[in-house]
Chain A
């Protein structure tokens, strides 16, 4: 049955379906409804909700719960994620699975609470210290806020690594129909966890390796794991079959671009949309295949150009890439993107 649901609330509904029974977090606009939904729902299904004293404490509570082998999550927005970065590095270094939701707002500093996608570098490229990766999923609808949260838990456990759901203020705040199906969750066995049992007594969760060779070996194993994770790329295509110009955007931007593809086609421009669903691993190969068929790629982001770097790396100079970004919490309208695309393809026609 479809229910009208807010994006932020859908995150928790998805988390509960995924078997998450532990949430530690700290309020921040525009992510607070996630904590509020967690406080309302998770204790009713026998789980733990705790409002931590800070994002720093929250991520370390997540670390503890993850070490004990339970599915656990937190959520915040830019400034809170900055505070969590040390903990995320530790989680990655200790190979602990967890889900972290970033409902991105305007930055840097206190910025504002309107949507941006300017945490792309911080989430996709790391943000904390050391060599590690986050698995990063970018929902573009309320339904995906739930579905990708479920997927985030699965991938996080599969690769024993933090998984980030990178949303933005609009996707978090908007309401859309949400269709959920209840199913029993089979939680994965975690023989490595520290559970206070005879079987797990010998287990150790840590990220410290004093000997350079040991730390190098640890990192090589993590690298190998990250290489394996490349099979997890996901993307969405719209009207790309005969496209001559390929628009690339994720999250809320992909929604506006989708509408722009329609208006552009009404004006005779063969536009198509490539939407990365996984930002890490980035769907580079399929993007390169799609881009090879067009004359120009135009990347649109709510940032001053972050994902565009990954697009350029994927295309390796073979296709011209242009960028259009809005920042400060401004989300471009369909008409604005339509005009921007027209301007950038003028030379092609």
Chain B
């Protein structure tokens, strides 16, 4: 018996009227199914199973299209899991329901190849619903064959999303009850509501006439891919005699008489959608994209021009979101880097920012930085009162607070050994014409007061970041205003104790 079947591969016969009579196995199939552990001459499908017919139609279509060498067959989980036993093409076996996602990854990697996703109903319409809908919606240029037999075959007859109302299964033992399990999913109809798919048809492997229609649909869906037109989907109503408890002939009849009324045969989509003009990203050399190449005209490193009086200098900037808190920290960090220091910037992030407050830690150091978290900053820039109250107690002894108001709150006690300078930076910024430069005024003040970094570096960084001429001028004025305020402040501070000006 086995030997007889082994020899079943015969040459095509040409009939009297010139038509090719296909009694031979398609060349798309392996001669022997050597990936199987036993019965290498026959499939694992039950007698009368629709998968065998579907496989044959797909194999013949691929053969006719001459794309065997460029075809990649994706088989997920279910009875379709072993498609790689049979199809003599590149094969990728993937997780349950995920074939459209994996096929997407393959097709995007190999856009000119033929990628087929072959899925059952549990795979495609239950666990993999999201993947098929989104692959279809993206218009992935793949071909999906959806074998719908209204039951889980591989696992032994459990209810499928396409199980008919009233149909018994091992997990719907009283018949599918919509009140409990809902109604059968109509995948072809569902997918045809999307804009991107180019071809959606439902066919049935119920009788020869319908099998010939299925043959045409399958070939068309593959031809579409050969022509690169878009996403094609063929739902194949398919008999499962074993699980249905019917003989093959009865099962075929059941497809037509029981399934088709629920899943009408139709071409649901057959047109190419109009795709909006594609704004293709510019193509640039890798070093440019990664900013490895120095930008022409940028200031770049200024190491050695500024003598740093510290080994480590740490700054905390805090305030409301929108006050340029994180940006100010980044600017200090960028400046430190350009002056040859080791630097780190660590932001608060996420919901905390969305609720309105933000802060960041800036470390400037002559040595490799350990913790980027600052427990005790040398300088705190408090852009609002909440930040002042929250972070002032953390400031290191001998440290400095720059507060964005003209006076400290009346009930606020300065931590011992900490100095504070009040700067009405928001008001000053308004006078300069933009509240947005409040942070730059604070920057100017910090640089002038502590000399931690060079104002020249600051201008260099700002010039590299701010491209609008008018805005750049406002920033320049803001930086100067912050510095001048400190000059002024220092005079007052010095004259106040004894009442004499220097």
Q: Which residues of A contact B (CB under 8 A)?
A: 1-4, 13, 16-17, 22, 24, 29-30, 41, 43-46, 48, 50, 52-54, 56-58, 60-70, 72, 86-87, 90, 94, 113-114, 169-170, 173-177, 180-182, 194-198, 200-208, 210-211, 214, 252, 255-260, 262, 331, 333-335
Contact = CB atoms under 8 A, between A and B. Distances in A.
Contacts of A30: 349-350
B372 A170 contact: yes
B91 A68 contact: no
Given A68-B110, A208-B93, A255 B68 contact: no
Interface in B95-130: 95, 98, 101-110, 112-115, 130
Contacts of A69: 109
Given A1-B294, A52-B134, 16 more contacts: A1-B301, A48-B109, A50-B138, A56-B131, A57-B98, A67-B105, A67-B106, A90-B94, A94-B93, A175-B345, A176-B343, A196-B90, A196-B115, A204-B92, A255-B370, A255-B372
Contacts of A72: 105, 109
B337 A2 contact: yes
Contacts of B90: 194-197, 200-201, 203
A268 B142 CA distance: 68
B292 interface: yes
Residue from A3, A94, A252 with most neighbouring chain B CB atoms (10 Å): A3
Contacts of A44: 281-284, 289
Nearest to A4: B334
Nearest to A62: B105
A331 B351 CA distance: 18
A114 B350 CA distance: 8
B108 A48 contact: yes
A331 B294 CA distance: 36
Contact of B131 (A4, A57, A173, A255): A57
Interface in B429-484: none
B194 to A, nearest CB: 13
Interface stretch (B3-11, B69-77, B233-241, B379-387): B69-77
12 contacts: A4-B330, A22-B105, A43-B281, A44-B289, A63-B95, A64-B103, A64-B107, A67-B106, A87-B98, A176-B343, A196-B72, A259-B370
Residue from A63, A68, A201 with most neighbouring chain B CB atoms (10 Å): A68
Lowest 9 A-B CB distances belong to which pairs? A64-B105, A196-B113, A259-B370, A64-B102, A206-B93, A60-B98, A65-B105, A68-B109, A194-B90
B88 A182 contact: no
A113 B350 CA distance: 7
Residue from B35, B284, B370 with most neighbouring chain A CB atoms (10 Å): B370
B283 A46 contact: yes
B262 interface: no
B406 to A, nearest CB: 32
Contacts of B264: none
Contacts of B372: 170, 174, 176, 252, 255
Contacts of B347: 173-174
Contacts of A176: 343-345, 369, 372
A63 B108 CA distance: 12
A13 B72 contact: no
B296 interface: no
B292 A256 contact: no
B496 interface: no
Contacts of A66: 105
Nearest to B344: A176
Nearest to B346: A174
B330 A57 contact: no
Nearest to B330: A175
B290 A17 contact: yes
A64 B292 contact: no
B95 A86 contact: yes
B375 A334 contact: yes
B373 interface: yes
A196 B110 contact: yes
A200 B291 CA distance: 37
Contacts of B35: 204
Nearest to A14: B290
A62 B70 CA distance: 20
Given A60-B105, A67-B102, A262 B92 contact: no
Contact of B371 (A46, A206, A255): A255
B81 interface: yes
B37 interface: yes
Contact of B98 (A4, A63, A258, A260): A63
Given A65-B105, A262-B370, A203 B113 contact: no
A101 B417 CA distance: 45
Contacts of A113: 349-351
A48 B104 CA distance: 11
Interface in B333-374: 333-334, 337, 342-347, 349-351, 369-373
B152 interface: no
B95 A196 contact: no
A256 B370 contact: yes
B410 interface: no
A222 B7 CA distance: 38
Interface in B281-318: 281-284, 286-287, 289-292, 294, 300-301
Contact of B91 (A169, A174, A203): A203
